Structure 1
Amino acid sequence: MSNLTNLEFVGLDISGKNYLSWVLDVEMHLNAKGLSETIKENNDASIQDLAKALIFIRHHLDQGLKDEYLTVKEPFELWRNLKERYDHQRTVILPKARYDWLHLRLQDFKTVSEYNSVMFKISSQLLLCGEKITDDDMLEKTFSTFHASNMVLQQQYREKGFTKYSQLISCLLVAEQNNELLLKNHEARPTSSNPFPEVNGVSYYNNTKGRGRGRSRKRGHGKHRGYNPGNGQNRHGASAKHDKEKRENNPKHAESICYRCGMNGHWEYNCRTARHLVDLYQASLKDKGKTIESNNVFIDDDFDIPHLDVEDYLEPVNEHQN
């Protein structure tokens, strides 16, 4: 593993699948080290340079290849043997690269970055196989593979007159980022929607402090309406002591009275008294001086039925006790 960490680039795999890129890396590094002449035929490089080039090439070979070419002592001979063994990769990669280039379409990718990466990969493979892809080729490939829904946009980009593929990609990347930002803003607040109103917590607390819930001001949470055990104040600001004295001085209101039917033991909001009895009670409040008969029945004169009150149906209390 320590040997792998010292590699300046990926070594040549024994299958040869990365041979084309490996050749390019070796040539560039040998040029940087001043050893490019060592892999050429009939070179007059020094023994030291030949040894340095051979060590460098072997260092970037698979262990199986090192064992196979263990007896080779010249860098040019090793270079030639590897070329004879793996140079057919060009004929294998070229048809695949041509196929990928033919079916490359911008509309098949979710992002411009993904499309741009595949574009450079295919063009590099074609270049290694001896076929050069120009900027005009890449521009035309991009323009002709826009999605059908973006035909107007495609024509606008054509009219800009780009001469380099990199200029078009830069413009597309900026447009893509702006579109993503617009979509995020739209999702955060869709069209025709209003922002959430601000809530004033202090005002809400002051307005609801000590009040009962319901549609009637007579309603409360218990027997003593508006009483707040937290501060001893009712909803009108009077103390609990004053409220108690008021109830003691006015025994009529000491108990809960229903203002709907006049009965004790319940409030108006949960009254279940029959409607006709409620009407009678309300009428009695309006006209207290008159007596209202609740069971006045008019019948024909042929039948003489006496009028009976409630007392007529009850036995005298004294007789019942005796």
Structure 2
Amino acid sequence: MSNLNKLNFTVLEVSGRNYLKWVQDVKPRLTPKNLFPTIEKETDNRVSEVEKATAMIFIKRHIHDDLKIVYLVEKDPRALWVTLADRFNHQNDIFLPEQQYRAQNFTKFSNLISILLLAQKKNQLLMKNHQARLTGATVMPEAHYSTNQHPKCQKRHGKGGQKPPRKSQ
């Protein structure tokens, strides 16, 4: 356990901003002590309670204090690992162009570039629309809406502009 403590690296932030780097730091440090099976997918390999406890201590020492409080009752390192992955692993969806090229199995790099350019154009259009009319700006009047400022000229009708029914006397 003392060797594990010597291997210091940045703790997992509450925002999860450094999750991918954190995972890359944790996995290689669990492997030499044969603790990696405690967090990997369930297999036939039995993991001792001592190994689970050691892995849990290591993981909890390398997460932010607020995350320690949130996952205080978690006793199984595999369950904690999966929970953290569910919470922060959405960052895998953000690919660099080269990673997208490999992940989507494009046959030509030019196909990837054309898709990225199309996405960029859509984003530019969205930004142009947003800048033309910012969120929270005053409401534009309806196209067929007209107002008469003189109170005597205003007709008062019920819902939908219909005249109220005549009262029979």
Give the drift of 1:25.
1.1
Structure 2: gaps (5+ residues):
104-108, 110-169
Q: For 2:37, give the aligned amino acid.
A: E
Q: Could you tell me how far apart the structure 1 residues matched to 2:82 and 2:39 are?
A: 8
Give the drift of 1:41.
3.5
Shift >3 Å, 4+ stretches: none
1:72-129 CA distances to partner (integer Å, 9 max, x unpaired)?
Answer: 00000000000111111111x32xx33xx7xxxxxxxxxxxxxxxxxxxxxxxx49xx
Contact kept? 2:7, 2:29, Cα under 8 Å: no
Percent sequence identity over matched residues? 38
SS in 2 for 1:88: helix
SS in 1 for 2:31: helix
Structure scoring higher RCO (CA < 8 A, sep ≥ 6) equals: 2
Give the drift of 1:68.
0.4
> Which residue does the alignment assign to 1:66?
68
Normalising by the residue count of structure 1, what TM-score does the alignment of the two structures yield?
0.28
Q: Could you tell me how far apart the structure 2 residues matched to 1:84 and 1:15 are?
A: 13
Q: Which has the larger radius of gyration?
A: 1
Structure 1: gaps (5+ residues):
102-125, 132-136, 138-322
Normalising by the residue count of structure 2, what TM-score does the alignment of the two structures yield?
0.52
SS in 2 for 1:56: helix
> Which residue does the alignment assign to 1:32?
32
RMSD across aligned C-alpha pairs, in angstroms? 2.4
Q: For 1:19, give the aligned amino acid.
A: Y
CA 1:20–1:80: 2 relative to 1, 3 Å: same
1:18-56 CA distances to partner (integer Å, 9 max, x unpaired)?
Answer: 111111111110012211110024351111000000000
Q: Paired residues, what number?
A: 97
Q: Could you tell me how far apart the structure 2 residues matched to 1:90 and 1:18 are?
A: 12
Give the drift of 1:8.
1.3
> Which residue does the alignment assign to 2:11?
11
Q: Could you tell me how far apart the structure 1 residues matched to 2:64 and 2:6 are?
A: 14
Q: Could you tell me how far apart the structure 2 residues matched to 1:8 and 1:15 are?
A: 20
Q: 1:194-273 alignment to 2 at 5 Å?
A: none
Give the drift of 1:6.
6.2
Contact kept? 1:30, 1:36, Cα under 8 Å: yes
